[in-house]
Amino acid sequence: MLRRKSGTSGTPPTSQFKNPDSNSKNGVSRSNSQWKLLDRFKPQNPPLKSSSTSQISEENSSSIKKGSHQGSSHKGEVCIKNCKCCGTVVSYSGGKHKFRCSVCNTTNVIINEPRCQPDPSTYPHVLSFRRVKKMLDICVHDADEACRQGNSKSTHEIFEPLSSYLFSAFKSYPCLNNSFKVKKSSKKIHYSTANLNMEDIRSMFILLTHLPTKRPLYSALSGACELLKRVEVYQDDDARNLLWLLILLEIPFLSNALVNYEKGTSTKITSMIDVPEIKTLCYDILKRVFGIMAQFNSTSQNNYIASWFSKLNKREFSSKVDLINLYITFHLKKYFHIANNPHLSRRKSSSSSSRPHEHPTDYEYLDNIELKNELEEIPPSDFRPPSHLHPSVNQIPSRSILSRSKSRKESVVKIKIHQYANDWHLKTAAIFLSTFIRANYIRDDSERLSVSIFYNSLLDFANIKLDFDSWQSNKKSNVKPPNDLQEPELQTVIDYIHGHNNSFKFNESSSYFFCQYPFLISLGSKISILEYEARRQMERKAEEAFINSLDKRIAIDVYFKVRVRREYIVQDSLRCIKMNPTNLKKSLRVQFIDEPGVDAGGIKKEWFLLLTRELFSPQAGIFVNIEDSNLLWFNVVPIENYEMYYLFGAILGLAIYNSTILNLKFPTALYKLLLGKPVDLSDYQKLYPVSASNLLKLREYSNEELMTMELTFEVSYTDFLGKVHTKQLIPKGTNTIVTVENREKYIEKYAKFFMYDGITNQVNFFVKGFSNVIGGNALSLFSPQEIELLLCGSDEEKIDVAILRSITKYSGWKDNDHATNSSPVKWFWEYMDNLSYKQHKKVLAFVTGSDRVPATGIQNLNFRISRLANGNDSNRLPVAHTCFNELALYEYSSREKMLSKLTTAVNESSGFGIK
């Protein structure tokens, strides 16, 4: 047995994973054509490597030679390979054909040849609900016959044939992988279906749970665990070889192992799936299925798996995502409790030492349960986490609870990065969840789930800013030249000047950071990282400015001030932005020249509103409204001043930094361009639905029909004056006729022209303006949909008045009770309860300056109601202070009078002023 390479004795094995950031800018490699939909399924590049190598137990070990991918190895040679369950890099002496990973206790059997289809006579009969039901009926019939003959059997004896069959069937790879087929004769692989009868799988397991004994169910799960502990590694990438994993993933009660496991929840076992032995097996199946699925980096396999998952209905798709997130939460909660109760970690260490002959993976589930049970025994005064986070220890904190109070969040100790940075359970689950991200991308628009479904709420209680810094530091250290001869002290100074932080060196050996898988991080946490990075950059610039100002005696302004004239708002705004490139990350203050008003938020909102209205006007010629979709897009005909696009990009960046919601009507493709992500044919279909429909009809025509159309590789478009312009899509496009052989290329080139190729300069200036305001790697954590949410707010189908009422603050009354019981406040909420969604948006626009709620939800809207005139009646209209999202009401004498005044104010009022 080889020894683990480690500088400190007692250090847990460190997993080495491949780096997902090493090769591809966006974490997804693509072929030459970024318009091929399935190219988006390519797996993430290998994760970050750690500095240590796992200890390996040699079971007749053999594999590929170091630096080679095929061929046999000889005794004495050192072989290196990744474990096919946890991904740990293992080194062992060659000569034979298998090794066991000491981290996850999985035996890897190396077979350097493609997998062959074995003879069906060599393995048990394939599984199906019908066959299991038939065997069950035979068992019952035989028991009845034996009973009539006076030979009664015990329950276990009655179902022994079924138990034996299930154990051998689930333990056999060829049997399980060929089971539950919809079409047994099908030999071809299809993107549209995995050819598995998922309902049949679930029905069979539910049938087993209704038997009078748990032995058959236990046998089936035990056989699956035995199969998962011994993984055969073949030299092929056929996705059909993974069907057995999809079958195990359909076990309907796997999630039961992750919930309701504490003493205080339910001590009474109501079903066999609540038995600890069954739960332990379910947990083992979960962790190994997730682990193995995460290790397949083949593009072909990932394409098929993502396509199959994309065909699930919303309920099934969502349940799979929730299962993986529940598994992640299961492990994170352990670290959360240990961080807040350090003595539990010491107890865990002592309990582990009491099992010297067992592998840690054999009892990790029971250890987790024991840890949760010990929390039940801790006196409330000693339990560090606040009770509002844990109404029951097994429950996931809801998103609404997590976002209510920063002060309460800060009162707990956050999960530390060293706790999870080398946890293969979290890493493999995150990698597997990324497959569902790709699957969700290709689902139909009506079936696509919101990105928020992938968030894990417990990550809000991890030190996500330190995670971000460590991730950044790790990336920089990976690209650092190995022959760097700088003195450490000098390098520290140089790194500080360039904004690099060297305080995270202790995390260099970490193989996992949450920022590698940003789909897990909630939008609120991403915003906090963005603000954190911007604040750090501004602090560094402020220090530089302060040092430079010492000799010049120049005062430093903490704000980015924009002074504009209303009639020249575009020109003045562009001048201010271009003259202050280093101040754009400062807090924004706007002043309209020769007008009263102190900018506490309202004037800034009006500036954004007026400026974007000018930029979007047809007279500006910057954007055009696409009639088919009623969305704005870049004008294909170049305007003389590209700086208008630079200004628009900068405006979007300033809006994000200053938490201002804009009224934008752009497709998601715009936000893809901001993030450096490619646009594709699906984006063209959303922007030009009629044109795209006609374009795709070309695929239905024969070559003769295409020839009669006389289409060439050219595109024609008109400018706002009606002049027709023609461009070639390829060199000599005028003379190239569209045929069956090249029509796909024509469709691709035609769509790309309007989405990118024909507007390259416009896009480049636009992205440059945005990047000058929002630079840094924090932006890479966001998806295009999240950037759209930040800029446009959430266009929810309805406003939840109950939540709005619960977060509203009152001023001008003695206390909140007097406020909520006052007539104007009661009348206002009655008025809100009876409004339609469109009328709700008008009220929001009147009070806040925007008809959209914040991206993180209406529960995070600062909404205030104040009392005017010391509670006296008035004939004046209510007043809105959009700077503070505040509605000011008089003590009107009647309900009818107030509702009339409020309706008039909401529908007709506008303007700013100072009292």
What is the domain range of residue 196?
A: 129-261+271-296
Residues 421 and 334 in one domain: yes
Beta strands 559-564 and 587-592 are: parallel
In a domain, 106, yes or no: yes
Mean pLDDT of the chain: 79
Residue 727, both tokens: 């461009």
d(CA 544, CA 497): 9
Select from 255, 290, 273 the least CA-distant residue to 394.
255
pLDDT of residue 514: 92
Residues 177 and 319 in one domain: no
The DSSP result for 68-111, as a single string, is -SSS---TT-EEEEE-TTT--EEEEE-SSSEEEETTT-PEEEEE
Full 3-state SS string of 835-888: CCHHHHHHHHHHHHCCCCECCCCHHHCCCEEEECHHHCCCCCCCEEECCCCEEE
Statement: residue 99 has pLDDT above 80: yes
In a domain, 467, yes or no: yes
Range in 407-421, 441-455, 676-690 with the lowest mean pLDDT: 407-421
pLDDT of residue 8: 34
Q: Are 101 and 90 in contact (CB under 8 A)?
A: yes
**pLDDT band at residue 669 using 50, 70 and 90 as cut-offs:** very high
In a domain, 229, yes or no: yes
Range in 508-517, 845-854, 905-914 with the lowest mean pLDDT: 905-914
Q: Are 753 and 715 in contact (CB under 8 A)?
A: yes
Chain-centroid distance of CA 79 in Å reads: 36
Q: Is 86 a catalytic residue?
A: no
**pLDDT band at residue 607 using 50, 70 and 90 as cut-offs:** confident
Statement: residue 368 has pLDDT above 90: no
Among all chains, which residue has been given the structure tokens 């529940």?
326
The highest-confidence range among 36-45, 343-352, 395-404, 611-620, by mean pLDDT, is: 611-620
**pLDDT band at residue 663 using 50, 70 and 90 as cut-offs:** confident
d(CA 759, CA 697): 25
In a domain, 350, yes or no: no
Range in 54-58, 113-117, 607-611 with the lowest mean pLDDT: 54-58
**pLDDT band at residue 553 using 50, 70 and 90 as cut-offs:** low
In a domain, 15, yes or no: no
List, in order, residues 6 or more apart from 506 with CB less than 8 Å away.
418
pLDDT of residue 264: 46
pLDDT of residue 56: 47
Residue 359, both tokens: 């592998």
Mean pLDDT, residues 96-120 taken together = 81
Q: How many CB atoms lie within 10 A of CB 579?
A: 8
Question: What's the CATH number where 887 sits?
Answer: 3.30.2410.10
d(CA 376, CA 370): 10
**pLDDT band at residue 392 using 50, 70 and 90 as cut-offs:** very low
Mean pLDDT, residues 382-410 taken together = 42
Statement: residue 104 has pLDDT above 70: yes
Residues 797 and 875 in one domain: yes
| 724: enclosing H helix or E strand | strand 724-728
| Percent share of the chain, pLDDT over 90 | 32
Ramachandran category for residue 591: left, alpha or beta (phi over 0 → left; psi -120 to 50 → alpha): beta
pLDDT of residue 561: 85
**pLDDT band at residue 605 using 50, 70 and 90 as cut-offs:** confident
Which of residues 591 and 24 earns the better pLDDT score?
591
What is the tens place of the pLDDT at every residue in 55-79?
444 444 433 333 344 445 555 677 7
Which of residues 48 and 825 earns the better pLDDT score?
825
Residues 141 and 246 in one domain: yes
Is 240 in a helix, a strand, or coil? helix
In a domain, 6, yes or no: no
Residue 248, both tokens: 């195990």
Select from 248, 232, 332 the least CA-distant residue to 288.
248
Statement: residue 291 has pLDDT above 90: yes
Mean pLDDT, residues 817-826 taken together = 88
pLDDT of residue 377: 61
d(CA 910, CA 602): 12
pLDDT of residue 767: 93
List, in order, residues 6 or more apart from 43 with CB less than 8 Å away.
28, 296, 297, 298, 299, 302
Residues 256 and 329 in one domain: no
pLDDT of residue 153: 81
pLDDT of residue 818: 86
Domain count, the chain: 4
Residue 487, both tokens: 């003195």
**pLDDT band at residue 268 using 50, 70 and 90 as cut-offs:** low
pLDDT of residue 269: 64
pLDDT of residue 221: 96
**pLDDT band at residue 718 using 50, 70 and 90 as cut-offs:** confident
Per the residue annotation, which of 175, 225, 282, 883 is the catalytic one?
883
User: What is the sign of the dihedral through the CA atoms of 109, 111, 112 and 115?
Assistant: negative
Residues 292 and 143 in one domain: yes
Residue 825, both tokens: 């406040």
Which of residues 342 and 731 earns the better pLDDT score?
731
pLDDT of residue 42: 44
Statement: residue 450 has pLDDT above 80: yes
pTM of the model: 0.80
pLDDT of residue 261: 53
Residues 237 and 156 in one domain: yes
Statement: residue 683 has pLDDT above 50: yes
Statement: residue 692 has pLDDT above 60: yes
Residues 318 and 467 in one domain: yes
pLDDT of residue 149: 80
Residues 98 and 194 in one domain: no
pLDDT of residue 351: 53
Select from 393, 343, 349, 351 the least CA-distant residue to 373.
393
Residues 161 and 83 in one domain: no
The residue type of 553 is R
Q: Is 270 exposed, middle or buried (0-12, 13-18, 19+ CB in 10 A)?
A: exposed
Select from 20, 72, 75, 74 the least CA-distant residue to 48.
20
Range in 269-273, 306-310, 874-878 with the lowest mean pLDDT: 269-273
Q: Are 98 and 62 in contact (CB under 8 A)?
A: yes
What is the tens place of the pLDDT at every residue in 505-521?
545 567 789 999 999 99
pLDDT of residue 297: 76
pLDDT of residue 346: 59
The DSSP result for 10-24, as a single string, is TPPP------TTSS-
Residues 198 and 336 in one domain: no
In a domain, 494, yes or no: no
d(CA 34, CA 678): 7
> How far are the Cα atoms of 313, 588, 598 from residue 316, in angstroms, in the given order?
5, 46, 53
Residues 319 and 201 in one domain: no
In a domain, 306, yes or no: no
